[in-house]
């Protein structure tokens, strides 16, 4: 008996399946909730610190924090990508670069020197007619950060209803469909937006900035929040929502909004603030996404994406 027992080989540990404990899984999920709030809120605090203490040229720093998020998130996607089927080909990356350049050509002239442009005269006229005498110009770091969150929350109320209308009306869907006809999630794809939608959907923030008389420092902090949030929410990264996702929109929530499944797509309308979805009943905490896209689910050419806003209803439903 002893000889037989000694002859029995021990199981090969390397061949055994590796399973993670529930505690390990919870810890892993918790760690994935940290990058987005650390980056978004951290960028806001850094801009607020520079404006408050004038360490160096605040305007230059604000520009840096506007440009820096995208390359950082693109590098992170290459290292910690969420799904291999969302990795971009060189051609797809070139198309994204085209959309980024196009949005820059549109927004830089339109919002040069923040929101002080010809259209800001219209905003000031609205403010003069309204019973408001507000100058939102906090002087402390905390004041600037919370002021920016307040501005973004008010702006997102406008954004929420415009965005929701685009999903619930075929007429308005025309200018929004371009953004949903992406078949892979990626940071650079946050700018894949029809020019008409830029002018309509993104109008909320400059209106609120004008109505509240926001200072240059507050505008810069608000911009830092918007840029990092927009890129991260579209990024091919395995980020989780956590406590941050109770009030702010997260990548996990926005990925669901881009699902090809219509019920999933018609939820989580908030771009950077999710609280309005929770209040008005359009929030979804689902995380299962089989496919990204809209309509037929096929990738469209740049020309098709531009002309979608002008084709017939019959043609639109065939994309």
Residue 194 has a pLDDT of: 83
Only one residue has tokens 């199981």, namely 11
In angstroms, the Cα distances linking 144 to 46, 77, 78, 214, 275 are 11, 30, 33, 10, 21
Q: What's the token pair of residue 57?
A: 């040229």
The CA distance from 40 to 79, in Å, is 20
242: left (phi over 0), alpha (psi -120 to 50) or beta: left
| 3-class secondary-structure state, position 272 | coil
Helix (H) or strand (E) holding 67: helix 58-67
Phi-psi region of 302 (alpha: psi -120 to 50; beta: other; left: phi over 0): alpha
Question: Given this model, what pLDDT does residue 82 score?
Answer: 94
Residues 6+ away with beta carbon under 8 Å from 299? 92, 181, 182, 183
Give the span between the Cα atoms of 38 and 228, in whole angstroms.
11
- Digits of tens for pLDDT over the chain (319 positions)? 444 444 444 444 444 454 556 766 888 889 999 999 999 999 999 999 999 998 888 878 887 888 889 999 999 999 999 999 999 999 998 998 888 887 766 655 554 444 444 445 555 565 565 556 778 889 999 999 999 999 999 999 999 999 999 999 988 888 898 899 899 999 988 888 888 887 666 777 878 887 888 888 898 899 899 889 999 999 999 999 999 999 999 999 999 999 999 999 999 999 999 999 999 999 999 988 989 988 887 888 878 888 888 888 777 777 8
Closest CA to 197 of 316, 103, 97: 103
């Amino acid at each position: 008996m002893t000889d037989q027992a000694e002859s029995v080989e021990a199981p090969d540990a390397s061949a055994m399946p590796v399973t993670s404990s529930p505690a390990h899984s919870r810890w892993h999920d918790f760690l994935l909730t940290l990058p987005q709030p650390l980056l978004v809120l951290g960028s806001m605090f850094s801009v607020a610190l520079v404006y408050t203490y004038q360490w160096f040229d605040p305007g230059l720093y604000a520009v840096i924090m506007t440009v820096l998020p995208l390359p950082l998130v693109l590098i992170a996607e290459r290292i910690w990508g969420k799904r291999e089927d969302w990795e971009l080909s060189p051609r797809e990356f070139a198309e994204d670069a085209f959309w980024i350049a196009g949005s820059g050509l549109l927004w830089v002239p339109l919002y040069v020197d923040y929101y002080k442009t010809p259209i800001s005269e219209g905003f000031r006229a609205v403010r003069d007619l309204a019973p408001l005498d507000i100058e939102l110009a906090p002087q402390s770091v905390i004041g600037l950060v919370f002021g920016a969150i307040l501005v973004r929350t008010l702006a997102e109320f406008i954004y929420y209803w415009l965005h929701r209308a685009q999903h619930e009306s075929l007429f308005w869907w025309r200018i929004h469909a371009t953004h949903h006809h992406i078949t892979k999630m990626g940071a650079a794809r946050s700018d894949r937006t029809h020019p008409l939608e830029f002018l309509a959907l993104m109008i909320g923030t400059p209106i609120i900035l004008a109505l509240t008389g926001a200072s240059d420092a507050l505008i810069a902090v608000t911009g830092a929040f918007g840029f990092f949030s927009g890129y991260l929410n579209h990024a091919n990264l395995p980020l989780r929502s956590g406590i941050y996702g109770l009030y702010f929109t997260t990548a996990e929530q926005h990925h669901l909004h881009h699902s090809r499944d219509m019920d999933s797509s018609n939820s989580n309308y908030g771009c950077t603030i999710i609280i309005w979805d929770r209040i008005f009943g359009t929030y979804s905490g689902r995380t299962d996404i089989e496919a990204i896209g809209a309509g037929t689910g096929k990738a469209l050419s740049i020309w098709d994406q531009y002309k979608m806003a002008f084709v017939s209803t019959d043609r639109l439903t065939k994309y």
